[in-house]
């Protein structure tokens, strides 16, 4: 297929058969898989392309709560999600002498918002999502070399010499998204790219993450507790914080975060990798191995013990960038997840916001008319960004606040001093704004939200799929649209 940006066809939909747009998704991360699941349920053709040859069970633990519960319920996987997750009610903020300095509580979520929070190991969640998609729709070892788009479609060319054609291109390929870079290069030539979007992606932290093999309560006493235990240690005289999380699989997920200053930023600038791989992990393991951790008993364990109990090939070092890009789409190309907004993991909101992107975008794609032209597709992308950007910015600021809380700057210490003195009832009220966004999929049966506090507005929930009507002479296609906020 030859892509000509200057060509825009004028469709006579009265003589065309009902054709949904074909979606090409680059990136098989959590956001890309979630979008694939929803498009599959909407009977919209799609393909997912991942540049990695195999999926490794990398990463640490993740936190999900009421903001993703409706999605999991609508997709019929909530019960299985609960089986691989572990209920959590608080974060223990600890000092290096293994004492709890203060707690960040999540009490009342079931009553307030209809669902509680759970800790789940990233590999288990990834496997759950991957199993919801037909295996023939996910293509591994597909590194994109070139991307073209225009009035008559999109075209991908891969390093193995193959090509893929479609109507919509979704960049779900992470912080250093090749799709975003390609889109931005073209927009820059056309003087349509904001200056801030062309600047290098900033990063202020480096993180090492891993997960132990299954352990016993004798080895790690907190594994014997019914609830998940999330302990975060704040370094006393070092630019680090480090975490441990107990899981339903009796493993301990762990991480250590290095907060960079001007000098250490230079040392780490050479390490920019969007892959969750083991590169450079060994050296950082050596730096953090003596850090004390909280195990729930008298054992004086360290991160070195966690490292020793973990598969070395599955320990990874990653950059923790922070930025919300202004440009999320152009013509037939759109971005989701880390490709358009990268958040500090301190807030635990990166994965859930990628899933929220997938919901809003799937709703908009499902509402496109049959045989959509480029202008109609781009208009849907604009509505998608408008719906998501306010929630994303709020999550981004909250993540920065939580990241700052465990740093070593004066503002970090001041923030901790304030949080220690905030009463539980006030913390509960602060959580209301963060948990108001509980989006649902417009084309799946809605689930009852039993929370006392109602969900925030979700315009795409009112978007309907195109309806096909037949007459004696032709097929007429109509699309019902609504912008009424729910």
pLDDT tens per residue, range 265-301: 555 555 554 445 556 788 899 999 999 999 998 889 9
* Positive/negative CA dihedral, 165, 170, 176, 182: positive
Compute the distance between CA of residue 66 and CA of residue 70 in angstroms, rounded to an integer: 7
The tens digit of pLDDT for each residue in 172-182 reads 999 899 999 99
**How large is the C-alpha radius of gyration of the chain?**
23
Residue 397 counted as domain residue: yes
Within 168-238, where are the H helices? 178-189
What pLDDT is attached to residue 476? 41
Compute the distance between CA of residue 258 and CA of residue 312 in angstroms, rounded to an integer: 20
The region of weakest confidence among 87-91, 125-129, 260-264 is: 260-264
Mean pLDDT across 92-101: 92
What pLDDT is attached to residue 407? 64
The region of weakest confidence among 71-85, 96-110, 360-374, 451-465 is: 96-110
Q: What is the DSSP letter of 162?
A: -
Q: Residue 95 has which token pair?
A: 């000092």
- pLDDT interval class at 58 (50, 70, 90): confident
The region of weakest confidence among 106-110, 154-158, 238-242, 373-377 is: 106-110
Q: Is 9 helix (H, G, I), strand (E, B) or coil?
A: coil
The region of weakest confidence among 133-137, 424-428, 457-461 is: 424-428
The tens digit of pLDDT for each residue in 399-409 reads 777 766 666 66
Closest CA to 398 of 424, 427, 420, 423: 427
Question: From edge to edge, which strands make up the β-sheet containing 85-87?
Answer: 61-64, 118-121, 85-87
Q: Which residue has the tokens 């009490």?
A: 107
Long-range contacts of 5-12 (CB under 8 A, 24+ apart): 5/149, 5/150, 5/151, 5/331, 6/150, 6/151, 7/150, 7/151, 7/152, 8/151, 8/152, 8/373, 8/374, 8/375, 9/151, 9/152, 9/373, 10/373, 11/371, 11/373
At a CB cut-off of 8 Å and minimum separation 6, what does 287 contact? none
Residue 178 counted as domain residue: yes
Residue 239: exposed, middle, or buried by beta-carbon count in 10 A (0-12, 13-18, 19+)?
middle
Mean pLDDT across 423-440: 74
Compute the distance between CA of residue 285 and CA of residue 290 in angstroms, rounded to an integer: 9
What pLDDT is attached to residue 154? 97
Cα atoms found within 13 Å of the Cα of residue 227, Cβ hemisphere only: 14
- pLDDT interval class at 471 (50, 70, 90): very low
What pLDDT is attached to residue 366? 98
Element (H, E) at 334: strand 333-335
Mean pLDDT across 180-185: 96
Compute the distance between CA of residue 320 and CA of residue 363 in angstroms, rounded to an integer: 30
Q: Residue 300 has which token pair?
A: 């004086």
What pLDDT is attached to residue 24? 98
Compute the distance between CA of residue 365 and CA of residue 20 in angstroms, rounded to an integer: 9
- pLDDT interval class at 483 (50, 70, 90): very low
What pLDDT is attached to residue 421? 66
Residue 225 counted as domain residue: no
Residue 191 counted as domain residue: yes
- pLDDT interval class at 389 (50, 70, 90): very high
Q: Which residue has the tokens 């297929």?
A: 1
% of the chain beyond a pLDDT of 90: 62
Residue 181 counted as domain residue: yes
Compute the distance between CA of residue 232 and CA of residue 243 in angstroms, rounded to an integer: 4
Residue 105 counted as domain residue: no
Residue 416 counted as domain residue: yes
- pLDDT interval class at 60 (50, 70, 90): confident
Residue 473 counted as domain residue: no
Q: What is the DSSP letter of 482?
A: -
% of the chain beyond a pLDDT of 70: 82
At a CB cut-off of 8 Å and minimum separation 6, what does 203 contact? 260, 265, 268, 272, 319, 320, 321, 322
Mean pLDDT of the chain: 86
Domain range enclosing 394: 18-56+121-200+322-457
Q: Which range in 142-151, 197-206, 258-267 is most confidently predicted, on average pLDDT?
A: 142-151
Q: Residue 45 has which token pair?
A: 């053709």
Higher pLDDT: 22 or 279? It is 22
DSSP letter string, 253-316? EEEEEEEP-HHHHHHHTT----S---TTHHHHHHHHTT-B---SSS---BHHHHHHTB-GGG-E
Evaluate if residue 18 carries a pLDDT over 50. Answer: yes
The tens digit of pLDDT for each residue in 308-334 reads 999 988 899 887 788 999 999 999 999
Q: Are 380 and 367 in contact (CB under 8 A)?
A: yes
Q: What is the DSSP letter of 5?
A: T
CATH of the domain at 34: 3.50.50.60
Tell me how long the chain is: 486
What pLDDT is attached to residue 10? 54
Evaluate if residue 14 carries a pLDDT over 70. Answer: no
Mean pLDDT across 187-198: 95
What b/e string do you get for 394-428 counting C-beta neighbours within 10 Å, with b at 16 or more?
bbbebbbebbbbbbbeeebeebbeebeeeeeeeee
Evaluate if residue 472 carries a pLDDT over 50. Answer: no
How many domains are there within the chain?
1
Mean pLDDT across 438-459: 94
């Amino acid at each position: 297929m030859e892509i000509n940006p200057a060509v825009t066809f004028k469709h006579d939909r009265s003589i065309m058969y009902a054709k949904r747009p074909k979606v090409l998704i680059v990136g098989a991360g959590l956001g890309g898989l979630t979008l694939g699941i929803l498009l599959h349920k909407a009977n919209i053709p799609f393909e997912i392309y991942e540049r990695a040859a195999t999926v490794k069970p990398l990463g640490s633990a993740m936190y999900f709560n009421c903001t993703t519960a409706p999605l999991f319920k609508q997709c019929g996987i909530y019960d299985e999600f609960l089986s691989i997750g572990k209920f959590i009610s608080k974060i223990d903020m600890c000092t290096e002498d293994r004492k709890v300095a203060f707690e960040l509580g999540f009490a009342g979520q079931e009553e307030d918002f209809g669902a509680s929070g759970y800790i789940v190991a990233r590999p288990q969640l990834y496997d759950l999502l991957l199993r919801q998609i037909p295996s023939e729709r996910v293509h591994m070892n597909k590194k994109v070399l070139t991307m073209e788009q225009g009035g008559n479609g999109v075209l991908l060319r891969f390093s193995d010499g193959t090509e893929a054609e479609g109507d919509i291109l979704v960049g779900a390929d992470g912080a250093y998204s090749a799709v975003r870079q390609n889109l931005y290069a073209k927009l820059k030539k056309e003087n349509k790219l904001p200056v801030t979007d062309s600047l290098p992606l900033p990063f202020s932290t480096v993180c090492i993450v891993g997960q132990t093999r299954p352990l016993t309560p004798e080895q790690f006493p907190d594994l014997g507790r019914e609830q998940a235990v999330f302990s975060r240690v704040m370094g006393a005289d070092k630019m680090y914080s480090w975490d441990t999380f107990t899981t339903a699989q009796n493993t301990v997920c762990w991480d250590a975060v290095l907060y960079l200053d001007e000098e250490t930023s230079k040392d780490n600038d050479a390490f920019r990798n969007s892959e969750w791989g083991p590169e450079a992990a060994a050296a950082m393991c050596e730096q953090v191995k003596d850090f004390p951790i909280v195990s729930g008993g008298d054992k004086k364990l360290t991160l070195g013990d966690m490292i020793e109990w973990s598969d070395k090939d599955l320990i990874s070092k990653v950059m923790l960038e922070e930025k919300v890009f202004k440009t999320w789409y152009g013509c037939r190309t759109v971005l989701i997840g880390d490709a358009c907004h990268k958040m500090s993991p301190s807030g635990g909101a990166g994965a859930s916001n990628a899933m929220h992107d997938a919901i809003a975008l799937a709703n908009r794609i499902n509402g496109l008319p049959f045989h959509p032209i480029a202008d109609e597709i781009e208009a849907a992308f604009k509505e998608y960004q408008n719906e998501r950007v306010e929630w994303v910015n709020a999550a981004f600021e909250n993540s920065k606040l939580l990241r700052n809380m465990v740093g070593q700057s004066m503002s970090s210490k001041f923030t901790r001093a304030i949080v220690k003195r905030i009463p539980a009832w006030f913390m509960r009220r602060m959580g209301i704004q963060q948990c108001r966004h509980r989006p649902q999929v417009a084309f799946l049966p809605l689930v009852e939200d039993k929370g006392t506090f109602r969900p925030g507005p979700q315009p795409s929930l009112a978007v309907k799929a195109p309806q096909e009507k037949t007459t004696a002479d032709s097929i007429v296609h109509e699309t019902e649209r609504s912008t009424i906020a729910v």
